[in-house]
Structure 1
Amino acid sequence: MPERDDHSLHPTRRRAISRIVFGILLALASALFILVIRPFVMPALLAAITAGVFFPLRNRLRSLFGDRKSPTAVVVLLLVVLIVVIPVSGLVYLTIENVLRLAHTVGTWGPDVHKVLESVVTFGQQLGIVPQGEPSTLLSRDSVLKALQQYSTGIAGRISHFLSNTLRTGLMVVVYLYSLFFFLRDGDEILTNFLDFIPLDREQKDSILSHFISVSRATIKSTIVMGIIQGVVAGVGFYVAGLKSPLLWGILTGLLAALPNFGPILIWLPAGVLLAASGHTGPALVILLGVGGLMGASDYLLRPRIIGDDIRMHDLLVFLGIFGGVALFGLPGILIGPIIMAVFVQIWTIFRLMYESDYRAANAMSPGASPEPDE
């Protein structure tokens, strides 16, 4: 009979040590995985959102292709390139061109800007919030011109830095398209495997997923469709009013259209007020009444019809999600921020329902609780 090894570990202790070692290896592998994919998280996340939006179209096309995954994914990918990638690239090019043109001419705005600021100072003196005195002495024309020149130089420098990262931008586009192809082809399997790691009931997982897809669709509808409508309205209005670079201001208005009832005001209201303060009454009326009126009408009449039955969030959550997303992720945060807010709200809603269910179950099992009658 073999002697017992006193130094051998008890199976329970050996299992505990194995789990600790495996936990360390799991944490190390996960940390390395995050470090590897960190530079490409943003294009991959945008690809996942795009795939979720185009899933209904993919399912219809798949039935036409005899349930062949790869050809269907290629066709949808080409449609995304034509509908999304090429227009966005052209929009970025036009924006950069107009910003550079604006940066080169902003230094010549000294007299006009100084005149507007003098009008603002005079108005402030009438209200008693600005010290009395000659506006020209309170506001130096040379200081205004110097500030404008510094501002234009800063803009040109930032654009040059952006253009120098063309290789990195091209790599991100390639990662986005490559990820989008596989999300379109294998999205169902990827989603199923991902949801298997979430320790929730199937009903709760489906609730989070449907909320995510619905809010993604509503956010993209609100951002893209309303952005195009309000951007065109603003650009035409600024052109009619005679403002410089109406295309650029139209693009900025379209980007801010993701903020319902608030975003475009940040563009057209200051423009109208400055035109009125500088004595340009006609253009000011075009901006304040024409552009402002059409913006309000589109927000209250068109936006609900465009979003349709997709889930809506409170405007405050949309506001915080967009600005927080932009601060954290850059320009893609306009889409990602509200989606994160929506998922956050839905998860806490599920937690509240779970807590209420457990609370009712605990009360039902307490000694003083009366049993529910049998049906």
Structure 2
Amino acid sequence: MISKTEKIYSTSRILLLVVLSILTLVLFVPFATPMLLACFVALGCEPVIKKINFKSKKRKYFTLGLFVILSTFILVPLVLFIFRIANGLKSLSTESMQNSQFFKALLDLWGKAQDFGSNLMQQAGLEQNIIPQKEELFSKLSPFIMDKATLFLGSLPDLILSLFVFFCVLFVLITSASTIKRTLLKANLLPVSELDNILHSFQTSCHMILISTFLIGALQAVIVAGGSLIFGFHEFFLIFVVTFFVSFIPVIGAGPVAVLLALIAFLMGNTGDGIGLVVVSVIAGTIDNVIKPFVFSKDEEGLHPVISLLGIIGAIIIFGLPGLLIGPFLLQVTVKLAPALIEKISATFNPGHGIDLDSDTKL
């Protein structure tokens, strides 16, 4: 029987542990988003590392290679993008934005779109003066672009710090995965089998999202950007980045980017280029349906697209751009684990009356 003194000691230890844990977590609150992304990537890489470990256990070499790939994929586009913005701001300091080549092309495009819209409204018997004039539109747009470009350059120190935290946490998680798992087992918070199932669900969900996001998204971005380069749009890098991030979003996907470019080509009178971009849009839009069945089993196809879309929108509102990855992960893990957890809880409080839930239940 536990004495009164031992109860007091135990309560004091628990309170001290809670206070220390809260204070420690507060220290890392500013880095919550890059740390969550590092956990996501580390969990997603674990199935690959386990396969490599059958031949070699050199996790540090794998981590180094992963760092090189991620650095190339993140830093090279970022540096190019920064140089583009810096050169743009430098040129605008000696030349007004309205006289720049970029804005002349936009003004020409808007003029053709305005003529097209005016003809449609005239045929429909509607007022044509509701369409804003191009001079009025771009006189308001130019300060907005300048402000956003300046704001982006001003936020670079925070972005660099976030990348540094991301790589540091990722290195610790990958190289110390076995130590972290042993610590969780020693804590005895859950039975070993349940903890293994939870970790497996986390790893498979992250791995699936990483493959579907990066591999398929990158392939779609290459197709759209390459097709755009062939059919008259030479901003390969910009189109690639936009298509890559848009491809993360369910229901929408990468196809509409090529459709928009095709519409612009038609408005500018380039019918052949427009038709070519429509074909590119069809090819990019069918990548998901062609590749995913080979990558994932039927049980891993995921949530209903509408639920995924709403979850991603909510995650973007909360986490910003990283929500494109964090949102699908949280949804997938919840759908996988919730039925099993409910069944365990029901069996604990109602022995012999547990509910039989399918572990593959989907929303």
Q: TM-score range by the shorter chain?
A: 0.7 to 0.9
Match of 1:188 among 178, 187, 192: 178
Contact 2:254 2:285 in 1 (8 A): no
Other structure's SS at 2:300 match:
coil
Match of 1:115 among 95, 112, 116: 112
Task: Report the alpha carbon displacement of residue 234 of structure 1 after superposing the two structures with TM.
Answer: 0.7
| Residue 116 to residue 202, structure 1, CA distance change in 2 (3 Å) | same
Task: Report the alpha carbon displacement of residue 149 of structure 1 after superposing the two structures with TM.
Answer: 1.2
| Residue 174 to residue 309, structure 1, CA distance change in 2 (3 Å) | farther
Corresponding residue for residue 256 of structure 1: 246
Match of 2:291 among 288, 302, 309: 302
TM-score (norm 2): 0.80
1:132 aligns with 2:118: no
Match of 1:234 among 224, 233, 240: 224
Residues 1-375 of structure 1 mapped to structure 2, 5 A cutoff: 12=4, 21-59=12-50, 62=53, 72-98=58-84, 105=100, 106-108=102-104, 109-124=106-121, 126=123, 131-133=126-128, 138-163=131-156, 165=157, 168-194=158-184, 197=187, 199-288=189-278, 290-307=279-296, 311-314=300-303, 315-354=305-344, 357=347, 361=351
Q: Distance in 1 between matches of 2:197 and 2:86?
A: 47
Task: Report the alpha carbon displacement of residue 222 of structure 1 after superposing the two structures with TM.
Answer: 0.9
Q: Distance in 2 between matches of 1:349 and 1:98?
A: 50
Contact 2:109 2:264 in 1 (8 A): no
Task: Report the alpha carbon displacement of residue 236 of structure 1 after superposing the two structures with TM.
Answer: 1.4
Task: Report the alpha carbon displacement of residue 143 of structure 1 after superposing the two structures with TM.
Answer: 1.0
Query: Alpha-carbon deviations, 1:149-207, whole Å to 9, x = none?
Result: 133213322332233x1xx4444333333333332222022024236657444333322
TM-score (norm 1): 0.77
Q: Which moved more, 1:175-184 or 1:213-222?
A: 175-184
Q: Share of identical aligned residues, percent?
A: 20
| Residue 95 to residue 302, structure 1, CA distance change in 2 (3 Å) | farther
| Residue 184 to residue 160, structure 1, CA distance change in 2 (3 Å) | closer
Q: Distance in 2 between matches of 1:253 and 1:325?
A: 19
Query: Alpha-carbon deviations, 1:234-281, whole Å to 9, x = none?
Result: 111222232252321122111222234522134223332343344432
Task: Report the alpha carbon displacement of residue 339 of structure 1 after superposing the two structures with TM.
Answer: 1.0
Corresponding residue for residue 3 of structure 1: none
Contact 2:244 2:254 in 1 (8 A): yes
Task: Report the alpha carbon displacement of residue 214 of structure 1 after superposing the two structures with TM.
Answer: 0.8
**Rg larger in structure:** 1
* 1:132 partner letter: E
| Residue 213 to residue 60, structure 1, CA distance change in 2 (3 Å) | closer
- Structure 2 residue runs of 5 or longer lacking an equivalent are 93-99, 355-363
* 1:107 partner letter: F
The number of residue pairs the alignment matches comes to 341
Task: Report the alpha carbon displacement of residue 47 of structure 1 after superposing the two structures with TM.
Answer: 2.8
| Residue 198 to residue 285, structure 1, CA distance change in 2 (3 Å) | farther
Q: Distance in 2 between matches of 1:140 and 1:227?
A: 37
Q: Distance in 1 between matches of 2:193 and 2:53?
A: 27
Q: Distance in 2 between matches of 1:21 and 1:107?
A: 67
Q: Distance in 2 between matches of 1:132 and 1:144?
A: 18
Contact 1:208 1:346 in 2 (8 A): no
Q: Distance in 2 between matches of 1:11 and 1:301?
A: 66
| Residue 255 to residue 242, structure 1, CA distance change in 2 (3 Å) | same
* 2:133 partner letter: S
* 2:33 partner letter: M
Corresponding residue for residue 95 of structure 2: none
